[in-house]
Structure formats: C-alpha cells, structure tokens
Amino acid sequence: MESITLTDTMIRFAASLLLAVLFLPASSFAADVPADRVFRDGTVFTADAQSSIAEAIAIHDGRLVYVGSNEGIARFIGPADLKGGFLMPGIVDGHMHPLEAGQKMRMCSLNYEPGLTVSEMQRGIQACLDKTKRKEPDGWLEVVFWFQEAMRPAGLRMNCTMLDTLRTSRPVIVYSSFGHTALANSRALALAKITKATPNPLGGKIWRDADGNPTGLLEDSAYAVYSDVIPKPTAEENIAAAKAAQEAIIRQGITSFLDADAAPEDAAAFTTLETAGTLTVRAHFAPEIGAEDGRDPIGAVAKIAAYIKQYDQGAIKTTPGITVQNAKLFLDGVIAVPALTGAMLEPYILNAGTEENPRWEPSQNRGPDVYFHLSRWRKFWCGLPGGGSIPICTPMEMARCMPRSTRSKPCAKKLATQIFVPQLRTTRSSVPPISRASKRLKRCRCCRSSGKNAPATQLD
C-alpha cells in the first residue's frame, strides 16, 4: 500500500483552483479589467460544487476574471473563439511517474493487454527482440506494461523458463504494469547475482521453487537491484524522455503533476526543461524515503533536505515551475495476487482448491512487517527538521507522538488541531509553527503534568 500526504500549501492551492472556477456573475469584476485571453461560445465545465456549465471565460495574469455567458464576456473580448468546442480546468494529476513514463514510451511494450497466454506474451517479446538484434548478445531488453494479474489461465504464476525459451542470449526483464512485480530470465538473474543463497531483501520477495531456487519472479524491492545492474539512461536520454512525457501530459489536459517517487534524475531532467524555457506544466516532486533509509531517520531527512535545496523553486505559481513539498515512503507492499506483500492484521485467505472448485482457507501469511516501525520513527515524525531549522509534523502525527496521558486532554487536542505543517524548507525567516507548538506544550499545565513533551530532534 502506498500513502502520499498533501501539504497544507497543496491543499490551499487546490482550494484556490476550485474557487477560481466558480460560476461568477458579470458584476463580479470591474468593467475595465483587461483580459489576456478570452474563450467564448463553448461548453465550459467549471468543476465547482454544482458542476456548473458556462459559455465563456476571461483570463488575466494567469487567473480567471470572468466565468459566465457570451453576452457578459463582451467587455473582455479577445481573439479566441471556442466555436462550440469544450473547455474545462486543467487536470492536476496527484500521482504519476513522468520521467519513467517517458522512458517506457521508448521500450518494448505489452500495452496492458489483458488475458494474454504465455505463448502470446512470448510472441510480443520476441517481436521486440527481432527488431533490436543489433543489441545481441549482451544488450538488456526491458519490457513494460505487462498486465500480470490478467494472464491466462487464471492463477498462472510465471517463471524464468517462460523467458528462457525466447530466441536470444540477451538478459530480459519484464515489469508488471502495477509497478510491484518483475520477471527476469536466467541471464538477468545471473547478472544480478540472485541465487538460492540470496535472502529476501527488506521490503521485497524472491519467489522460489521447491528446492529454494529463484523462479525469476521478484516482488517490490527484490528487483531494485537492477537499478544498479542495468545501465542507466544518460542525462540527454532523460531530457528526451521528459520532453516526450510532457508532450503526452499536455495532450491529456494535465497542467500540474506530482511525481510520486522522484529520483534526483527526475527533477534534474524537468529542471533542465524549465531552465531552457520549455517547461509547460507545474511539476511537483516527492523524493522517496526508502525502506533501507528507515534504519537511519536523520540521515533520510538530510537527503530529503539536500534534494529540496537543489531543486525546489519556492511557492507554487500559476506559471510552470518546479516544487518539492512532499516526500514519499512505503509502509508495505500490495495485497494483489500473487504478490501478497501488504502487511495484514489477519492472515490472507488463499484458494486451497482449484479454479473450478475453489476452497478458500486462512493461510499462515500475514505479509511482511511494516517497513517503518514507530519505535524508530517516533522522533522523526515529531521533530523532523529541514536543513537544520524547519521540522515537519502533521497535527495527527503530533497528537500521536504525545504521551498517552497527555493526548486525550483537551489542551492537547486543541493544540493538535490548530497546528499545521510548513513546507520543508532549508531557509525561512519566520519561526516554524511546530517550534511555537513545542513552547506552548511546555507552558501547558496539563501537558507539563505528564512529565513529557513531544520529542524533538535537530539536524546540524
């Protein structure tokens, strides 16, 4: 399962977008307000609470100054006429991986085809191999958009022999479209040194046969090793992928996106577009705090702070730009078959029978332990600093970090609901709200009586 938390700034930004497209009467603005662009004579979906439909809009300085009828738009008239077309607010995509998508647009693709048999899947991959014979015998073939869960027959569990029969000597790896599973051929397993003796990594699973040998099916962090084994794209290739992704994004009507697992090269590629003046979307990036980083919370925070310092361009604007106001971590995997890497309170119920005659029984499998344990991360949540001065902590997290004897008291509840989280910044002149909160906790009589305050940690 994955979780991403919006910051207060992003929430305010989303709210401002909604307010901006309310169905506004002509009298809402002065008659002499100039318009940079005007769209009229169309169907304008406003996305307000009533799903109102207008005929025309006027835009000035990146903001809507009029939404209403064709008659009311007259004083803002410009050259743009919708001519009966459709117009709506730009889409804000809250979870995508744009650079990865741009790269995959240039890879061998199974096109999310549902219901593939093994032979159909093999034919598709072989066609890609035949088109790229110049890369024999050592060039990697990466295959994307494999709809693993819809393979036929139902319940089929793939293994490396299904790839080893292909007419190639090349290492081959196939990525599930859900982003949590990969299938490697024997050559790829050997190059990654995944053997019978290889333990399951933290946050991952290596599927094995009855003798303990890896089958080639890898879950979550078990195939992360390939990020170091497969040659990385060059900076130029990443920029080309970013351009391709941006073109696809714009064609879909997306004007803002959040890259929900952004490696430094992701932000670097889009920053290059912004510097060149060719960025056409508002790009937000959430760098990952990996499962291994959970062993060192302070080091993890330092990495995020350095990322922000390098790429974040400040407050969100109406114009294209780069912001870093989120971080992402995985608490566990997914509950999808066959992975079953999600952490569960009760064991998974599995089919001990057949597809024709199923017999569902509780198993012994509850999935892995969560990757981030409260005992290690308690101080992180409540005392996370950015660049040595700005901690971040949500009201809910702050309340949870309070001692149990304190958090149920009225003053603690009031405090938790009044404090919001500033963006993680490396420089800021004002005193961060959580610092004020710590002082208020110390002054609070009922909190002081517990003998504890919310823990705090500082970076040098």
- Does residue 246 belong to any structural domain of this protein? no
- Does residue 137 belong to any structural domain of this protein? yes
**H/E/C letters for each residue in 252-276?**
CCEEEEEECCCCHHHHHHHHHHHHC
Dihedral Cα 274, 275, 277, 279, nearest 10 deg: -10
- Degrees to nearest 5, angle at CA 128 with 186 and 121: 65
- Does residue 423 belong to any structural domain of this protein? yes
The mean pLDDT of 336-361, rounded to a whole number, is 85
Q: Are residues 222 and 117 in the same domain?
A: yes
Q: Are residues 106 and 178 in the same domain?
A: yes
Last residue of a domain, one of 229, 248, 275: 229
Q: Are residues 72 and 111 in the same domain?
A: no
CATH number of 167's domain: 3.10.310.70
- Does residue 427 belong to any structural domain of this protein? yes
Give the predicted TM-score (pTM) of the model: 0.60
Last residue of a domain, one of 229, 264, 286: 229
Q: Are residues 118 and 214 in the same domain?
A: yes
Of the candidates 421, 224, 243, the one whose C-alpha atom is nearest the C-alpha of residue 330 is 224
- Does residue 257 belong to any structural domain of this protein? no
Q: Are residues 192 and 73 in the same domain?
A: no
Q: Are residues 188 and 68 in the same domain?
A: no
pLDDT digits (tens, 9 = 90+) for 58-102: 888 888 889 999 888 888 875 567 788 888 889 999 999 999 999
3 vs 228 pLDDT, higher one:
228
Domain that holds residue 32: 22-88
Buried b / exposed e over 176-210, threshold 16 CB at 10 Å, is: bbeebbbbbbbbbbebbebeeeeebbebbbbbeee
The strand ranges marked E within 10-90 are 37-39, 43-45, 53-54, 56-60, 63-68, 86-87
The strand ranges marked E within 305-454 are 321-323, 329-330, 349-351, 360-362
- Cα–Cα distances in angstroms (integers) from residue 169 to residues 136, 164, 226, in the given order: 7, 9, 18
The mean pLDDT of 414-437, rounded to a whole number, is 36
- Provide the terminal-to-terminal Cα distance of the chain, rounded to the nearest Å: 33
Is the distance from CB of 456 to CB of 391 less than 8 angstroms?
Answer: yes
Q: Are residues 195 and 154 in the same domain?
A: yes
Last residue of a domain, one of 229, 245, 262: 229
The mean pLDDT of 416-444, rounded to a whole number, is 37
What are 182's two structure tokens?
A: 């990969």
Q: Which of 161-170, 180-189, 407-416 has the lowest mean pLDDT?
A: 407-416
Instruction: Tell me the C-alpha distance between 20 and 331, whole Å.
Output: 36
The full length of the chain comes to 460
Q: What is the pLDDT of residue 351?
A: 86
178 vs 16 pLDDT, higher one:
178
Q: How many CB atoms neighbour CB 394 within 10 A? A: 18
3-state secondary structure of 412: helix
- Does residue 322 belong to any structural domain of this protein? no
Of the candidates 223, 221, 342, the one whose C-alpha atom is nearest the C-alpha of residue 290 is 221
Q: Which of 99-113, 272-286, 348-362 has the highest mean pLDDT?
A: 272-286
Number of domains the chain contains: 3
Q: What is the pLDDT of residue 386?
A: 40
Q: Are residues 41 and 138 in the same domain?
A: no
Q: Which of 40-49, 143-152, 330-339, 437-446 has the lowest mean pLDDT?
A: 437-446
- Does residue 294 belong to any structural domain of this protein? no
Instruction: Tell me the C-alpha distance between 217 and 337, whole Å.
Output: 13
Provide the pLDDT confidence category of residue 32 given band limits of 50, 70 and 90.
low
Instruction: Tell me the C-alpha distance between 316 and 62, whole Å.
Output: 13
What are 322's two structure tokens?
A: 């780069």
- Does residue 52 belong to any structural domain of this protein? yes
Q: Are strands 2-3 and 329-330 parallel, antiparallel or unpaired?
A: antiparallel
3-state secondary structure of 223: helix
What are 380's two structure tokens?
A: 């992180």
Q: What is the pLDDT of residue 3?
A: 31
- Cα–Cα distances in angstroms (integers) from residue 81 to residues 33, 46, 54, 273, 428, in the given order: 19, 18, 14, 30, 45
